[in-house]
């Protein structure tokens, strides 16, 4: 399987320090309907609304984020992603985004299935556990702590970390087709040895129906 | 005037209710016609030049037009939503012009069952038309006309008040920019109707009820009203809050082996019932619980709430409370789902709160932050 790489050669402009936001903004077509899961303060949706004119809704569990989203003028639904997306109709969004949240979910299979039920396409980003610095720290006998994985083993919210290869194997096993991939390191696109050199991976996926 | 010590800064201060008289007949959903009627209301803040900053606050079962501030002749009579409304409060009267109205059929001054029926010269009593949420909204729209408000910046309310806000978006989509639907539901469940029916039966079977014409007998069905209020009150609180506040605490410290008040919760319920029966009208209680039962905007659309809300133009804030079992969060989520289906602007907050249905009246920091943030984003241009 060949996966189209997105590499326009230019350094991504960091938005709130989130390098994946620019990749996502490039992929989302103007005027589409977007659901952002784990939307935080709504800055991605606000950005997408401003530059792509999307019709967006966020989902977040934290009431402080609900208040922040309102302040950002973003529609937001308070809810727990772990219990699924039962309030959302099949195929009711063009894109369902899960930005750096997959690794913190308990029900990984469930949320990916739900994303692709509700959205025609899913956009997923996650920190690449296979990044070489992570590997070295493990070889030296420690759980990795880096800029991209800033937590200690005992206080990390990340319960399901994976490598790029792991995620692609997961997709193959779960009927998920990868439409596009962007691997980054500190905001720069990585095309060579992505599973070793990439810190962050962003995928556009759909259900293999 | 020296301010009363019980009123913290941020109160709208002393307020005076006003009465608007309407001569144009109002046809109720039932077909009944009220030829003329009064609506009692209060306002706080100033209507701006563009008349774009008006917010209508709708009341629930036992409340009234007295939403904020206090009455000069009775400084203890503080408005029922005073913690939300005032200068610098979540509904900021420095920015908004706030209208509170006593609904038709009420017992706080607007025309209701205790008002004289022009046909007989006696109080309407049981002859007052059965009123629905739609009828209230029509009457409120006429009050808006009277006040020169073409379009509300927002209509908001909790519980039955939230249902009125929801109905506004359906009845008058062009006259409401935002709806704040708090601790509400798109319709009652069978269990909810059942609670209302027990309350009504308590009133109707009171020997002092006299078929609703008790005014002429110089009595009130107070026993029935007390029981009705006690039942209602149980459903407004959560099991947790009752356990925390009362538990199994005994009044005298030990059992007395009788049926007088033994447990603190009994004392509390009796007190609430007694207080309520002192000021509330039994016919109004029947009417309002029936309006709750009948509320079902999807009914005219084959039960499809999606279609009922299709023509709404407002932006929505929907809020529910985790411990509310009378109008549980899933009831609010049903509203949200219909709004999402229609691609309407909606924000939904599910507040962690222990006080049950009454949480919407409580001073909860997260809840008030959500309401404040939403209202402050409303563009008055």
Q: Categorize the per-residue pLDDT at A18 as very low, low, confident or very high, splitting at 50, 70 and 90.
A: confident
The string of pLDDT tens digits covering residues B277-335 is 999 999 999 999 999 999 999 999 999 999 999 999 999 999 999 999 999 999 999 99
Query: b/e map of B271-298 (b: 16 or more CB within 10 Å)?
Result: ebbeebbeebbbbbbbbbbbbbbbbbbb
Look-up of token digits 């709750």: B292
Mean pLDDT, range B30-47, rounded to an integer = 98
* pLDDT value at residue B381: 85
Q: Categorize the per-residue pLDDT at A15 as very low, low, confident or very high, splitting at 50, 70 and 90.
A: very low
Q: Please report residues of A whose CB lies closer than 8 A to that of B346.
A: 57, 75, 77
Q: Which residues face B22 on adjacent strands?
A: B37
* pLDDT value at residue B135: 98
Q: Which of B298, B294, B296, B370 is nearest to B338 (CA)?
A: B298
The string of pLDDT tens digits covering residues B57-94 is 999 998 999 999 999 999 999 999 999 999 999 999 99
Q: Which of A170, A208, A25, A88 is nearest to B338 (CA)?
A: A88
Rg (CA), chain B: 21
Look-up of token digits 């050199």: A197
- Examine the residue annotation and report whether B357 is marked as an active-site residue of this protein: yes
Interchain contact, A89 vs B349, CB within 8 Å: no
- The answer to whether residue B346 neighbours chain A at the CB level (below 8 Å) is yes
Q: Categorize the per-residue pLDDT at A12 as very low, low, confident or very high, splitting at 50, 70 and 90.
A: very low
- The answer to whether residue B37 neighbours chain A at the CB level (below 8 Å) is no
| DSSP state for residue B307 in the 8-state scheme | H
From CA B176, how far away is CA A19, in angstroms rounded?
40
Element (H, E) at A27: helix A19-27
Q: Is the pLDDT of residue A14 over 90?
A: no
Which of A66, A88, A118 to mutate to test binding with chain B, by most B CBs within 10 Å of its CB? A66
Please indicate, yes or no, if residue A70 is contained in any of the structural domains: yes
Q: Is the pLDDT of residue B100 over 80?
A: yes
Q: Is the pLDDT of residue A16 over 80?
A: no
Cβ-in-10-Å burial (0-12, 13-18, 19+) of B107 comes to buried
Please indicate, yes or no, if residue A137 is contained in any of the structural domains: no
Interchain contact, B347 vs A76, CB within 8 Å: yes
- Sequence-distant (6+) residues with CB within 8 A of B135 are B26, B28, B29, B104
Residue from the list B347, B350, B366 with its beta carbon closest to the beta carbon of A70: B347
Please indicate, yes or no, if residue A150 is contained in any of the structural domains: no
Interchain contact, B340 vs A88, CB within 8 Å: yes
Least confident piece of the model among A190-204, B8-22, B141-155 = B8-22
* pLDDT value at residue B96: 98
Q: What percent of chain A has pLDDT over 90?
A: 87
Please indicate, yes or no, if residue A196 is contained in any of the structural domains: yes
Query: How many distinct structural domains can be found in chain A?
Result: 1
* pLDDT value at residue B9: 55
Please indicate, yes or no, if residue A120 is contained in any of the structural domains: yes
Least confident piece of the model among A15-19, A148-152, B21-25, B355-359 = A15-19
* Shortest distance, CA A183 to any CA of chain B (angstroms): 33
From CA B242, how far away is CA B252, in angstroms rounded?
19
Q: Is the pLDDT of residue A11 over 50?
A: no
Within A25-170, strands assigned E span 33-37, 55-60, 75-78, 93-99, 119-127
Q: Note which residues in 82-111 of chain A have CB less than 8 A from chain B.
A: 87-89, 92
Q: Categorize the per-residue pLDDT at A27 as very low, low, confident or very high, splitting at 50, 70 and 90.
A: very high
Q: Is the pLDDT of residue B373 over 70?
A: yes
Least confident piece of the model among A4-18, A84-98, A154-168, B20-34 = A4-18
* Shortest distance, CA B326 to any CA of chain A (angstroms): 20
Q: Categorize the per-residue pLDDT at B8 as very low, low, confident or very high, splitting at 50, 70 and 90.
A: low
Q: Note which residues in 299-318 of chain B have CB less than 8 A from chain A.
A: 317
At B287 the three-state DSSP class reads helix
Q: Categorize the per-residue pLDDT at A65 as very low, low, confident or very high, splitting at 50, 70 and 90.
A: very high
* pLDDT value at residue B126: 95
Chain A: residue nearest B379 by CA? A73
Which of B342, B373, B376, B379 to mutate to test binding with chain A, by most A CBs within 10 Å of its CB? B373
Q: Which range of residues forms the domain containing residue A90? A: 19-129+160-207
Q: Which two three-digit tokens encode residue B153?
A: 């910046």
- Examine the residue annotation and report whether B233 is marked as an active-site residue of this protein: no
From the list B64, B296, B357, B359, the catalytic residue is B357
Please indicate, yes or no, if residue A82 is contained in any of the structural domains: yes
Q: Is the pLDDT of residue A5 over 90?
A: no
Q: How many CB pairs under 8 A join A and B?
A: 54
Q: Note which residues in 24-83 of chain A have CB less than 8 A from chain B.
A: 33, 55, 57, 63-64, 66-67, 69-71, 73, 75-79
| DSSP state for residue A180 in the 8-state scheme | E
* pLDDT value at residue B336: 98
From CA B337, how far away is CA B2, in angstroms rounded?
50
Q: Please report residues of A whose CB lies closer than 8 A to that of B370.
A: 63, 66-67, 70
From CA B190, how far away is CA A59, in angstroms rounded?
31
Q: Please report residues of A whose CB lies closer than 8 A to that of B317.
A: 70
Torsion angles phi and psi, residue B74, rounded to 5? -150, 80
Q: Please report residues of B whose CB lies closer than 8 A to that of A91.
A: none
Give the C-alpha distances (Å, rounded to integers) separating B303 from B227, B265, B309. 33, 40, 12
Chain A: residue nearest B371 by CA? A67
Quote the mean pLDDT of chain B: 96
From CA A192, how far away is CA A199, in angstroms rounded?
13
* pLDDT value at residue A187: 86
Which ipTM did the prediction report?
Answer: 0.93
Interchain contact, A78 vs B350, CB within 8 Å: yes
From CA A142, how far away is CA B307, in angstroms rounded?
57
The CATH number of the domain holding residue A49 is 3.40.50.150
Please indicate, yes or no, if residue A138 is contained in any of the structural domains: no
The string of pLDDT tens digits covering residues B331-354 is 999 999 999 999 999 999 999 999
- Examine the residue annotation and report whether B59 is marked as an active-site residue of this protein: no
Q: Please report residues of B whose CB lies closer than 8 A to that of A76.
A: 347-348
Residue from the list A33, A71, A78 with its beta carbon closest to the beta carbon of B349: A78
Residue from the list A63, A87, A89 with its beta carbon closest to the beta carbon of B349: A63
Please indicate, yes or no, if residue A166 is contained in any of the structural domains: yes
Mean pLDDT, range B220-243, rounded to an integer = 96
Within B284-363, strands assigned E span 315-321, 346-351
At B332 the three-state DSSP class reads helix
Q: Which residues face A59 on adjacent strands?
A: A37, A77
* pLDDT value at residue A1: 45
């Amino acid at each position: 399987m060949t996966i189209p790489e997105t590499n326009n050669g230019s350094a991504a402009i960091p938005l709130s320090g989130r390098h994946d936001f620019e990749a996502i903004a490039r992929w989302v077509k103007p005027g589409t309907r977007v659901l952002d899961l784990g939307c935080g303060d709504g800055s991605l949706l606000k950005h997408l609304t401003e530059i792509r004119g999307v019709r967006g809704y966020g989902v977040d569990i934290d009431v402080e984020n609900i208040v922040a989203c309102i302040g950002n003028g973003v529609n937001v639904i308070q809810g727990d992603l772990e219990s699924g997306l039962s309030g959302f109709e099949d195929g009711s969004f063009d894109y369902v985004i899960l930005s750096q949240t997959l690794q913190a979910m308990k029900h990984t299979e469930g949320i990916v299935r739900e994303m692709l039920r509700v959205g025609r396409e899913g956009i997923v980003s996650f920190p690449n556990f296979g990044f070489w610095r992570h590997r070295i720290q493990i070889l030296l006998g420690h759980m990795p702590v880096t800029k991209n994985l800033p937590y200690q083993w005992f206080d990390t919210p990340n319960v399901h970390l994976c490598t790029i290869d792991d995620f692609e194997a997961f997709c193959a096993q779960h009927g998920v087709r990868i439409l596009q991939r962007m691997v980054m390191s500190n905001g720069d696109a990585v095309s060579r040895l992505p599973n070793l050199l990439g810190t962050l991976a962003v995928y556009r996926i759909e259900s293999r129906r | 005037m020296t301010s009363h010590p019980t009123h913290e800064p941020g109160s709208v201060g002393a307020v005076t209710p006003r009465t608007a008289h309407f001569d144009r007949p109002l046809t109720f959903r039932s077909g009944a016609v009220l030829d003329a009627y009064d609506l009692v209301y209060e306002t706080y803040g100033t209507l701006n030049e563009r008349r774009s900053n008006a917010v209508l606050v709708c009341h629930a079962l036992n409340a009234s037009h007295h939403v904020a501030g206090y009455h000069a002749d009775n400084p203890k009579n503080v408005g029922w939503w005073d913690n939300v409304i005032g200068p610098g409060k979540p509904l900021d009267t420095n920015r908004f012009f706030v209208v509170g109205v006593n609904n038709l059929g009420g017992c706080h001054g607007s025309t209701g069952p205790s008002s004289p029926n022009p046909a007989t010269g006696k109080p309407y009593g049981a002859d007052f038309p059965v009123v629905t949420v739609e009828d209230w909204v029509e009457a409120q729209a006429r009050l808006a006309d009277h006040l020169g408000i073409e379009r509300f910046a927002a209509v908001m309310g909790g519980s039955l008040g939230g249902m009125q806000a929801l109905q506004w978006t359906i009845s008058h989509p062009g006259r409401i920019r935002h709806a704040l639907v708090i601790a509400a539901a798109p319709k009652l469940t069978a269990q909810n109707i059942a609670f209302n029916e027990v309350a009504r039966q308590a009133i109707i079977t009171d020997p002092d009820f006299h078929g609703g014409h008790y005014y002429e007998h110089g009595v009130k069905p107070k026993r029935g009203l007390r029981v009705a209020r006690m039942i209602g009150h149980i459903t407004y609180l959560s099991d947790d809050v009752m356990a925390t506040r009362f538990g199994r605490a005994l009044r005298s410290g030990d059992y007395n082996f009788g049926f007088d008040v033994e447990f603190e919760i009994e004392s509390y319920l009796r007190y609430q019932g007694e207080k309520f029966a002192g000021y509330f009208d039994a016919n109004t209680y029947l009417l309002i619980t029936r309006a709750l039962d009948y509320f079902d905007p999807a009914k005219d659309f084959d039960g499809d709430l999606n279609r009922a809300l299709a023509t709404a133009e407002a932006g929505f804030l929907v809020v529910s409370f985790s411990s509310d079992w009378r109008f549980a969060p899933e009831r609010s989520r049903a509203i949200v789902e219909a709004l999402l289906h229609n691609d309407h602007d909606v924000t939904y907050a599910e507040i962690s709160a222990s006080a049950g249905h009454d949480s919407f009246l409580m001073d909860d920091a997260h809840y008030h932050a959500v309401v404040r943030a939403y209202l402050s984003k409303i563009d008055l241009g």
